[in-house]
């Protein structure tokens, strides 16, 4: 398995692309390379190894949350706890993640399958669902963005 390949997978929320190559993901999603992607991690140890930080006041909240992305220090991150998706990410440690659709468009299986290098389909199949919530964390407060 290649960490730089573009994977099409069913995430814990919706169908998405995963890769450790942000330039490839920017090209596929037709986004400027300067616009960051959400980084997903298999556990807090890997999250910390990548020099990520969560304000102390919010650590327990982040640990207890599921299907939620957090922005802290202008970096968007998620810790995956869902069993099928977690098992896939655990093999690599982390990925850049994005939904498998064009901006404001719905999921098109034929198009996304052509774009992906490797399609990972588990017992759930591939289906569009609600995206994760996004919470911005500061030292004092939490602000829900989505």
Segment 7-37, tens digit of pLDDT? 998 887 888 899 999 999 999 888 888 888 9
Q: Is the pTM of this model over 0.75?
A: yes
**Other Cβ atoms closer than 10 A to 51:** 8
Neighbour-count burial for 112-137, b at 16+ CB within 10 Å, e otherwise: beeebeeeeeeeeebebeeebebbeb
Is 28 within 8 Å of 6 (Cβ atoms)? yes
Domains of the chain in start order, with CATH, are: 7-144 (3.90.870.10)
Residue 84 backbone phi and psi in degrees, to 5: -65, -50
Average pLDDT over residues 36-63: 88
Average pLDDT over residues 34-53: 88
């Amino acid at each position: 398995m290649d960490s730089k390949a573009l994977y099409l997978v069913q995430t814990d929320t919706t169908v998405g692309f995963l890769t450790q190559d942000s330039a490839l993901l920017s090209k596929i999603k037709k986004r400027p390379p300067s616009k960051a992607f959400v980084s997903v991690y298999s556990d807090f140890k890997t999250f910390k190894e990548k020099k990520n930080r969560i304000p102390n006041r919010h650590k327990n909240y982040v640990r207890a949350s599921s299907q939620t992305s957090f922005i802290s220090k202008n970096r968007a991150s998620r810790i995956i706890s869902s069993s099928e998706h977690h098992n896939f990410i655990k093999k690599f440690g982390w990925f850049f993640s994005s939904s498998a659709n064009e901006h404001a468009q719905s999921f098109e299986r034929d198009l996304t399958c052509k774009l992906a290098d490797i399609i990972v389909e588990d017992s759930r199949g591939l289906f569009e669902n609600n995206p994760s919530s996004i919470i911005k964390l500061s030292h004092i407060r939490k602000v829900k963005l989505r």
